[in-house]
Amino acid sequence: MNGKKTEPPKPRDLLARPWHDLRISVMDRCNFRCPYCMPQSVFHDDFAFLESGQRLEFSAIERVARISARLGVTKLRLTGGEPLLRPDLTALIHRLTALPGIDDVALTTNGVLLDRHLNTLHDAGLSRLTISLDSLDPVVFEHMSGGRDKLGAVLTAIDNAAKRGFPGGIKINAMIQRDVNEGDILPLVSRFRNTGITLRFIEFMDVGTRNHWRQSAVVPSAIILQRINALYPVEPLAPLYRGEVAQRYRFTDGGGEIGFISSVTAPFCGDCSRARLSSDGQIYTCLFATTGTDLRPALTSPDDEALEALLRRIWQGRADRYSEIRNPEPQPDSGERIEMYYIGG
Residues that bind ligand SF4 (CB under 6 A): 30, 32-34, 37-38, 80-82, 110, 132, 268-269, 272, 274, 286-288, 320-323, 341
Report, in Å, the least distance between residue 35 CB and ligand SAM.
9
Q: Could you list the beta-strand ranges (E) of the chain.
A: 21-27, 75-80, 104-109, 128-132, 170-176, 198-203, 234-236, 247-251, 257-261, 274-277, 282-284, 293-294
Interaction between residue 198 and ligand SAM (CB under 6 A): no
Interaction between residue 342 and ligand SAM (CB under 6 A): no
Nearest alpha carbon to residue 196 among 174, 164, 223: 164
Binding partner of 109, given ligand SAM, ligand SF4, none, CB within 5-8 angstroms per partner class: ligand SAM
Interaction between residue 221 and ligand SAM (CB under 6 A): no
Positive or negative torsion for Cα 152, 205, 14, 16: negative
Binding partner of 292, given ligand SF4, ligand SAM, none, CB within 5-8 angstroms per partner class: none
User: Can you give the C-alpha Rg of the chain in angstroms?
Assistant: 20
Question: How distant, in Å, are the alpha carbons of 16, 142, 287 from that of 343?
Answer: 24, 25, 7
Report, in Å, the least distance between residue 318 CB and ligand SAM.
22
Q: Could you list the beta-strand ranges (E) of 122-188.
A: 128-132, 170-176
Binding partner of 173, given ligand SAM, ligand SF4, none, CB within 5-8 angstroms per partner class: ligand SAM
Nearest alpha carbon to residue 106 among 72, 69, 131: 131
Report, in Å, the least distance between residue 79 CB and ligand SAM.
5
Binding partner of 92, given ligand SAM, ligand SF4, none, CB within 5-8 angstroms per partner class: none
Contact 272/21 with Cβ under 8 angstroms? Answer: no
Interaction between residue 295 and ligand SAM (CB under 6 A): no
Instruction: Give the footprint of ligand SAM on this chain (CB under 6 A).
Output: 30, 36-37, 79-80, 82, 108-110, 132, 173, 175, 202, 204-205, 207, 211, 340-341, 345
